[in-house]
Amino acid sequence: MSVVYRGFTQSQLDAAYNNRAVERDLDAVKIDRDRRSLAMYATSKVSRDRAYGPGPRQRLDYFHAPAAGKPTVAYIHGGYWQLNDKEPNAFVVEGLLAQGLNVALLEYTLAPAAKMTQIVGEIRTAIGWLTARLKPEFGASTSLVVAGHSAGGHLTAMAAGLTGVTAALPISGLFDLEPIRLSYLNAPLRMDEAEAGANSPTNLPLPEVPVTVAVGAAELPELLRQSEDYFARLTAAGRTVRRLVAPGATHFSVLEQVARPDGSIAKEAARLAGA
């Protein structure tokens, strides 16, 4: 069979980015996280479904920290740009609230209803909307850390250079979309080479703000490589960057380091925010 990317055949490349194929007990994990997410909505002060644009998925939920004047984390969910909603990801809020942070859970239009350029544009619009309202409307400080997991890690990197963003925390991110374009994942995304290149953080000017690149130590090798390459590029450019590798964590279990009050990624978000 012919090679399509970095020595991978088509089937090998597809397998290299198929996180669900190597994870165990995902159904049980989803049930548990759904339960915890519902509990966060029930027990937290939250401004729900705030519209940052006209689309039905252009909305966010803002969870308020116990005290006023605190920094905010804008969290972007994953799902390979084609799956997921903000509500089942509310379980991550627990760890961030425990660190004294406000949390905005962002939602965006999914593929195939939206292409990559639109998705990136929506996130940038959401960050601009949020930045303008942090202090006057939500009573927060002006410190804003953008964070996100998987596809959300990619969108984090794409938003890291925006005005008002003070730090970025991509988790298990995808920074070069060329292998995504060449894999099975591109069917709903429909990216051509130009669009993949234009929306790949590795091809764009690097953010000036502090960045922590987080990843699980037990993730697929290609996911590890993507984070290592982005970290190396930031380091070579002299940016303020840290690398956080969660021991034993897979692509899905790494989120427990956000959700746990003592989680390493929750603590790192607080450090980046200056909380």
The structural domains of the chain, with segments of one domain joined by +, span 3-273
| Alpha helix positions (H), the chain | 10-16, 26-43, 93-98, 116-133, 151-159, 178-181, 186-189, 193-198, 221-236, 256-259, 264-273
Cα three-residue angle 179-185-188, rounded to 5 degrees: 130
DSSP code at position 110:
P
> 50: closest CA among 61, 41, 39, 38?
61
Count CB atoms within 10 A of the CB of residue 268: 22
Predicted TM-score (pTM) of the model is 0.98
Query: 144-149 and 72-76: which strand pairing?
Result: parallel
Q: Is the separation of the CB atoms in 114 and 78 below 8 Å?
A: no
| Paired tokens of 102 | 């406000």
Count CB atoms within 10 A of the CB of residue 178: 16
Domain 3-273 CATH (choose: 3.40.50.12280, 3.40.50.1820, 3.40.50.10860, 2.40.30.30): 3.40.50.1820
Whether 17 has a pLDDT exceeding 90, the answer reads yes
Query: In b/e form, how buried is each residue of 39-76, taking b as 16+ CB within 10 angstroms?
Result: ebeeebebeeebebeebeebbbbbbbbeeeebbbbbbb
CA–centroid distance for 26 within its chain: 19
Please state, for a pLDDT cut of 90, what percent of the chain lies above it: 98
| Paired tokens of 231 | 């970290």
Question: Which tens digit of pLDDT belongs to each residue from 65-94?
Answer: 999 999 999 999 999 999 999 999 999 999
Whether 1 has a pLDDT exceeding 80, the answer reads no
β-bridge mates for residue 145, sequence order: 73, 167
Query: 59-63 and 46-51: which strand pairing?
Result: antiparallel
The helix (run of H) or strand (run of E) holding residue 59 is: strand 59-63
Question: Which tens digit of pLDDT belongs to each residue from 33-73?
Answer: 999 999 999 999 999 999 999 999 999 999 999 999 999 99
What is the arithmetic mean of pLDDT over 248-261? 98
Question: In the Cβ-directed half-sphere of 3, how many Cα atoms lie within 13 Å?
Answer: 4
| Paired tokens of 19 | 């996180």
The residue count of the chain comes to 275
Question: In the Cβ-directed half-sphere of 189, how many Cα atoms lie within 13 Å?
Answer: 26
Question: Which tens digit of pLDDT belongs to each residue from 151-196?
Answer: 999 999 999 999 999 999 999 999 999 999 999 999 999 999 999 9
β-bridge mates for residue 146, sequence order: 74, 168
Q: Is the separation of the CB atoms in 42 and 49 below 8 Å?
A: no
| Paired tokens of 57 | 């998925």
Residue 216, SS3 per DSSP:
strand
Question: Which tens digit of pLDDT belongs to each residue from 128-140?
Answer: 999 999 999 999 9
